[in-house]
């Protein structure tokens, strides 16, 4: 819904929030349902209403619990029966500098200031720790915006008695705690209020009259950022940038102006703007975002432009390059298939509004942000759209471009073999399949929230839930990593099963689509069967719950030798395997042992 995409009109959203909600709910899309608790230090009614709009826009249908006014501490630390019954999937703590109880005063000595600081910090850490003990779910915590006045003027930032100094120290400690504790995420309202304008962010009248800690018009800004974090936590980020070339990555038209006359580099103001944009895109690649090209151009011209001596991006930075005269919408569909990702994982960046509109009409799942007509604003437009909101970083994110490039090499080699079995043997595949270990907990949790196609139940897990399951003897857990002669695919498969007496139910089975048809599923099944036998399990039950994206695994358990037990009217199926009848199936993958 374009009204909810950056740059949005906050006042329009506040005026039309009911009709926007009605339109969003009328969609026949498949929803991800989540229970979200909002623990507020101020009035949160409108925050809840507008947060719902942005979440619905992202395909998340929320159910909310709201604390009473300024009861965030009591609900968290002392407990609340209603909150306990609600059992939130995620908690948002909406506090602001209005919730700081004891600021330093000019008469305080250094010891007194430090006591106040520790007291404030410990109040929040106790909230986070109690919530972790009771719910083991992600917690989003606001840091603090700066105060609307500075008693000490510019010295407020450096003197220990200054509120600006006090808030800065608290924000740094919040950040440190989040670095050291998984599942705590900081919503940076310090940055958001600075961008929005501190004087416009809050209004004393709204606080005195309604206990609103920010103005009505600022609510969409706050909730948009929270929604971006929530959709990222639940694996709804975009995965790939598809970029136009002329007047998008450089100034000018390479086919008309020639490479030497393109505006890119520090010689001109426009050239420097394009260079900085390219450097920004290169940084996105380092975070694991896949860069691709979709240009109405001859391939020779496209590649020539990338060889400009001042270009920060080179041909090797891109996974797929489509430079031809086909409709860009057709190219996008081909690229999605080639990358093995959904169209809804793609962000299409083009300076031409006509091309963006065609893509919007032909490929509505693709995000095609309005980039404006000034290249110096491209970074701001793309960055604040929240497509790639980062809530975690794993080592595998840094190597994604190379992984996809290796997949292209595998696909090319496959075509050289008349016999597919000979191709699999030629890959010289080796896998490590073991119970979950601390080193990979973050990556395993990340996979459970990102994998949609080869995912039989599409259950989502937080890292703390993964850690708890790994320690529980009633569960069997397996992760699988796969490497071959082209390189290491990293962790590509995850299985979780829980045991009741001699029976195991498979709660989760997922696999990365980049290793489809490579026998990895059979290698995982062989190891799962062995692990189950070791704890006297004689029967395994598997479940398939259909979604809009996982139809490819409808008959997965049949291929593994299971018998169908039941199927309901929604297509949910249950499958049974007697282990006494199971025989190993993996033929092409050698297992690596510790």
Give the pLDDT score at 89: 93
Phi, psi of 243 (to 5 degrees): -115, 135
Give percent of the chain above pLDDT 90: 77
Give the pLDDT score at 159: 97
SS3 string of 124-192?
Answer: HHHHHHHHHHHHCCCEEEECCCCCCCCCCHHHHHCCCCCHHHHHHHHHHHHHHHHHHCCCEEEECHHHH
Using CB atoms within 10 Å of the CB of residue 419, give its burial: 0 to 12 exposed, 13 to 18 middle, 19+ buried. exposed
List pLDDT tens digits, range 520-572: 999 999 999 999 999 999 999 999 999 877 888 899 999 999 999 999 999 99
Whether 488 has a pLDDT exceeding 90, the answer reads no
List pLDDT tens digits, range 367-405: 999 998 899 999 999 999 999 999 876 656 666 677 777
Instruction: With beta carbons less than 8 A apart as the criterion, state whether 262 and 252 touch.
Output: yes
Q: Count other C-beta atoms under 10 Å from residue 224's C-beta.
A: 24
β partners of residue 294? 322
List pLDDT tens digits, range 43-62: 999 999 999 999 999 999 99
Integer CA distances (angstroms), 43 to 117, 202, 462, 471, 476, in order: 25, 13, 29, 40, 45
List pLDDT tens digits, range 190-214: 999 999 999 999 999 999 999 999 9
Q: Going by DSSP bridges, is the β-strand pair 60-66/32-40 parallel, antiparallel, or unpaired?
A: parallel
Give the pLDDT score at 395: 59
Pairwise CA distance, residues 62 & 231, whole Å: 11
Selection from 142, 132, 145 nearest residue 94 by Cα: 142
Question: Which distant-in-sequence residues (6+ apart) come within 8 Å of 17 by Cβ?
Answer: 49, 50, 53
Task: For residue 516, say if its preceding peptide bond is cis, omega within 30 degrees of 0.
Answer: no
Whether 418 has a pLDDT exceeding 80, the answer reads no
Whether 165 has a pLDDT exceeding 90, the answer reads yes
Instruction: With beta carbons less than 8 A apart as the criterion, state whether 206 and 216 touch.
Output: yes
- Which two three-digit tokens encode residue 540? 């395994």
- Collapsing DSSP to helix, strand or coil, 347 comes out as strand
Domains of the chain in sequence order? 2-233 (3.40.50.1110), 240-383 (3.40.50.1000), 428-591 (3.40.630.30)
Give the pLDDT score at 594: 62
List pLDDT tens digits, range 431-442: 999 999 988 888
Give the pLDDT score at 265: 94
Pairwise CA distance, residues 572 & 558, whole Å: 14
Instruction: With beta carbons less than 8 A apart as the criterion, state whether 495 and 508 touch.
Output: yes
Pairwise CA distance, residues 136 & 469, whole Å: 12
Indicate the average pLDDT of the chain.
92
What confidence tier does 182 reach under pLDDT thresholds 50, 70, 90? confident
User: pTM of the prediction?
Assistant: 0.82
List pLDDT tens digits, range 245-257: 999 999 999 988 8
Give percent of the chain above pLDDT 70: 97
Whether 518 has a pLDDT exceeding 90, the answer reads no
Pairwise CA distance, residues 38 & 141, whole Å: 10
CA 302, distance to chain mean position in Å, is 31
> How many alpha carbons lie under 13 Å from residue 79 in its C-beta half-sphere?
6
């Amino acid at each position: 819904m374009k009204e909810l995409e950056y740059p949005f009109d906050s006042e329009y959203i506040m005026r039309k929030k009911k009709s926007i909600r009605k339109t969003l709910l009328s969609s026949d899309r498949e929803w991800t349902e989540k229970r979200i608790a909002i623990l507020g230090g101020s009035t949160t009614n409108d925050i809840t209403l507008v947060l719902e709009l942005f979440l619905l826009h992202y395909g998340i249908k929320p159910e909310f619990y709201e604390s009473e006014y300024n009861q965030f501490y009591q609900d968290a630390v002392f407990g609340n029966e209603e909150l306990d019954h609600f059992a939130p999937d995620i908690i948002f703590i909406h506090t602001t500098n209005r919730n700081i109880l004891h600021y330093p005063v000019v008469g305080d000595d250094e010891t007194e200031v430090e006591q106040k600081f520790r007291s404030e910090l410990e109040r929040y850490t106790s909230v986070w720790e109690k919530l972790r003990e009771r719910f083991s779910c992600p917690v989003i915590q606001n840091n603090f915006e700066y105060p609307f006045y500075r008693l000490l003027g510019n010295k407020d930032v450096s003197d220990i008695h200054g509120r600006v100094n006090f808030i800065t120290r608290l924000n740094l400690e919040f950040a440190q705690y989040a670095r050291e504790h998984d599942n705590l995420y900081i919503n940076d309202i310090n940055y958001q209020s600075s961008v929005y304008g501190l004087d416009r962010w809050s209004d004393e009248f709204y606080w005195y009259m309604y206990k609103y800690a920010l103005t009505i018009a600022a609510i969409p800004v706050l909730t948009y950022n929270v929604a971006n974090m929530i959709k990222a936590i639940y694996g709804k980020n975009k995965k790939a940038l598809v970029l136009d070339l002329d007047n998008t990555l450089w100034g000018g038209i390479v086919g008309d102006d020639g490479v030497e006359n393109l505006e890119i580099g520090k010689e001109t103001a426009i050239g420097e703007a394009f260079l900085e944009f390219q450097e920004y895109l290169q940084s996105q690649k380092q975070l694991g975002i896949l860069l691709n090209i979709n240009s109405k151009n001859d391939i020779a011209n496209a590649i020539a432009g990338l060889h400009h001596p001042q270009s920060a991006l080179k041909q090797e930075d891109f996974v797929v390059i489509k430079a031809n005269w086909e409709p860009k919408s057709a190219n996008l569909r081909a690229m999605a298939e080639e990358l093995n990702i959904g169209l809804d994982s793609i962000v299409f960046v083009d300076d031409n509004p006509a091309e963006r509109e065609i893509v919007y009409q032909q490929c509505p799942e693709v995000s095609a942000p309005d980039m404006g007509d000034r290249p110096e604003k491209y970074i701001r437009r793309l960055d604040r759209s929240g497509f790639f909101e980062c809530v975690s970083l794993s080592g595998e994110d840094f190597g994604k471009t190379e992984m996809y490039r290796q997949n292209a090499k595998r696909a090319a080699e496959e075509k050289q073999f008349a016999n597919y079995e000979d191709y699999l043997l030629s890959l010289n595949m080796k896998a490590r399949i073991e119970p979950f270990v601390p080193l990979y907990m973050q990556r395993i949790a990340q996979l459970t929230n990102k994998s949609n196609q080869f995912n039989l139940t599409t259950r989502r897990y937080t890292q703390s839930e993964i850690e708890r399951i790994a320690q529980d003897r009633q569960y069997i857990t397996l992760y699988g990593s796969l490497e071959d002669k082209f390189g290491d695919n990293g962790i590509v498969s995850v299985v979780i099963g829980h045991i009741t007496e001699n029976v195991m139910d498979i709660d989760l089975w997922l696999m990365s689509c980049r290793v489809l048809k490579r026998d990895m599923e059979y290698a995982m099944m062989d190891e799962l069967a062995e692990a189950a036998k070791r704890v006297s399990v004689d029967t395994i039950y598997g479940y398939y719950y259909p979604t809009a994206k996982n139809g490819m695994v409808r008959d997965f358990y049949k291929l593994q030798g299971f018998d169908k037990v039941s199927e309901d009217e929604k297509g949910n199926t249950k499958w049974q395997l007697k282990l006494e009848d199971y025989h190993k199936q993996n033929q092409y993958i050698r297992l690596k042992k510790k």
